[in-house]
Chain A
């Protein structure tokens, strides 16, 4: 089945830039979505359609895409950004199967 690959963990100091990657064969053909999940809470959509930011999401969150690699960038990381981040996309073979990446734990040092 289709898979999305994320690094298990990323660590940055406050004020620095965090970059979380997601790779998958179909990412050049399907949109990618990013979700933030803080401990004990439901996920929250922070980026949709590769680069769009929902209302209410801080401008420091941005997304980019290059072929089969997409990146979530958090500029000027704050302590409150410590969370798990999941990318999500869909199989491009016509099955409509939705797939999540394994998740990346962002630690703010």
Chain B
């Protein structure tokens, strides 16, 4: 069973870049059966899709965040990453990574990591 674990700083200063990594265990990130997604949840709010990446390297991003985000894959480390530039307090959220099993949905999620943007 695949497991996902997010990691990264819990506190980021305004205008800086938020960098998070999701480590995949129990499976290969290079598998053609899956692709990989980031989702966030603002405090007390619903889920917001950030974007996803295919094994080919193709990415699809939320239009509202597209100008500030980059999602990448490091197959040698079995990890994928999120970079969100020029953060503000509005980027304070719990960030989740998830495995997407094609049309079978986001079937495995990480536990989430809380990121606070504050000086």
Contacts and interface: CB of A to CB of B under 8 A. Distances in A.
Interface string B24-61: 00000000000001010000001111001000000010
Contacts of B63: 1, 95, 97
Given A33-B106, A43-B109, A48-B107, A97 B60 contact: yes
Contact of A42 (B60, B103, B104, B110): B110
Contacts of A44: 109
Given A43-B96, A97-B60, A97-B63, A103 B47 contact: yes
A49 interface: yes
A47 to B, nearest CB: 8
Given A1-B63, A95-B63, A96-B60, A101 B46 contact: yes
Contact of B47 (A45, A86, A97): A86
Interface residues of A, number: 25
Contacts of B37: 98
The 8 closest A-B pairs by CB, nearest first: A48-B105, A98-B49, A33-B105, A42-B109, A103-B46, A100-B47, A96-B60, A102-B46
Interface of B: 37, 39, 46-49, 52, 60, 62-64, 96, 103-107, 109-112
Interface of A: 1, 31, 33, 35, 37, 42-45, 48-49, 52, 54, 84, 86, 88, 95-103
Given A45-B107, A96-B60, A100-B48, 12 more contacts: A37-B47, A42-B112, A44-B109, A48-B103, A48-B104, A49-B103, A49-B104, A86-B47, A98-B52, A99-B49, A100-B46, A103-B46
